[in-house]
Amino acid sequence: MSTTQKITLAKGLNMGLRKAMEDDDKVLLMGEDVGKLGGVFRITDGLQKDFGEDRVIDSPLAESGIVGTAVGMALRGYRPVVEIQFDGFVYPAYDQIVCQVAKYTYRSQGKVKMPIVIRIPFGGGIGAVEHHSESPEAQFAHTPGLKVVACSNPVDGYWMIQQAIAHDDPVIFLEPKRQYHADKAELDDSATPEPLFTSRVVRAGSDATVLAYGPTVKTALKCAEAAESEGRSLEVIDLRTLSPLDMAPVYESVRRTGRCVVTHEAHVNLGMGAELAARVTEECFYSLEAPVLRVGAFDTPYPPSRIEEEYLPDLDRVLDAVDRSFAY
């Protein structure tokens, strides 16, 4: 029986995790404070109560331990879903993710699968202290053997987490933490979701293409609204998958618009935008009216939160880049 309800991203993820655990008893959740507390963002709220301590596991405070034991559980046939409490805390687990999780299938010539989901709340804008607002996606998208996705809205949160858990390869699952409790959207749980590793046009337009993912999708959509009042039609694409990239909708769009702006919260230098710009340039060279422009964080550490809005890409900075694109 299908139901329709208005949910937040936090609720969507929570419902998606619950559904995945109901569908497959090999799915285990593990992380810091994910049990009784339901996670510091309450994403796993109520799951330990309903599925027990063996399936929703409160871990010692050691990120490498969390990911490293997940490797062993995966080898034993489980599908661990681990929560890294904040983006900036993922680095103690970096070796396990990059050297172990990412390579086991390759090293074993496909004999071993690593169906592990590593959930990471990412991005800024919540007024947090340092190490709580980072965007480390390029570090993982750069690593062969990992898949990296980012959800941007409640409905995607519900479907994408289930798809990531059902997938046989390791998935870095990025959740824009400032969106957790922000906007509600209508979920129809009888709908058929798009495949996980696909990007999606979220607003059609004809004059320029704006590429975004995670928290900047909302920024890009606002930007398109503002541009419309100035007579410019922006097409917004929610990339959703960062590795592998789904470039076909991007190429199709840029060939029509001739202009492309990429925005993300991560640093610009060697970020996703650099890869996207390179690929768009290689494939759409003769359609481009202007170089692909990037709007992201400066190449500085994340600043004190009182000035984070001056650091993160916002409506005006993205619009400014659109203006510059039209100036060519």
CA-based R_g, the chain, Å: 19
Q: Count of residues for the chain?
A: 328
Cα maximum dimension of the chain: 60
Q: Determine the Cα angle at 39 with ends 154 and 115, to 5°.
A: 70
By CB atoms closer than 10 A (0-12, 13-18, 19+), residue 186 is exposed
Single out the residue of 66, 67, 13, 75 nearest to residue 44, CA to CA: 13
Ranges assigned E (strand) in 66-116? 79-83
Q: Which is nearer to other proteins, 54 or 230 (CB)?
A: 54
Query: Which residues between 201 and 240 bind other proteins (CB under 8 A)?
Result: none
Q: Which of 13, 71, 149, 174 touches other proteins by CB under 8 A? A: 71
CA distance 326 to 293: 11
Q: Please state at what angle helix 216-229 crosses helix 315-326, rounded to 10 degrees.
A: 60
Residue placing its CB nearer to other proteins in the complex, 14 or 105: 105
Site mask for other proteins (CB under 8 A), range 255-294, x = bound: ----------------------------------------
Q: Does 33 bind other proteins (CB under 8 A)?
A: no
Question: Interhelix angle for 272-284 vs 248-257, to 10°?
Answer: 60
| 142 touching other proteins, by CB under 8 A | no
What character string, x for contact with other proteins (CB under 8 A) and - otherwise, covers 178-197?
-------------------x
Residue count at the site for other proteins (CB under 8 A)? 44
Q: Quick check: 85 binds other proteins (CB under 8 A)?
A: no
Q: How far is the CB of 287 from other proteins (least distance, A)?
A: 20
Active site residue 167: no
For residue 88, report the phi and psi dihedrals to the nearest 5 degrees. -70, -5
Residue 113 as a binder of other proteins (CB under 8 A): the answer is yes
For other proteins, the closer CB: 13 or 71:
71
Amino acid at 210: V
User: Which residues are annotated as catalytic?
Assistant: 132
Interface with other proteins (CB under 8 A): 28, 54, 59-60, 62, 64-65, 67-78, 80, 92, 95-96, 99-100, 103-113, 144-145, 147, 168-169, 197, 244-245
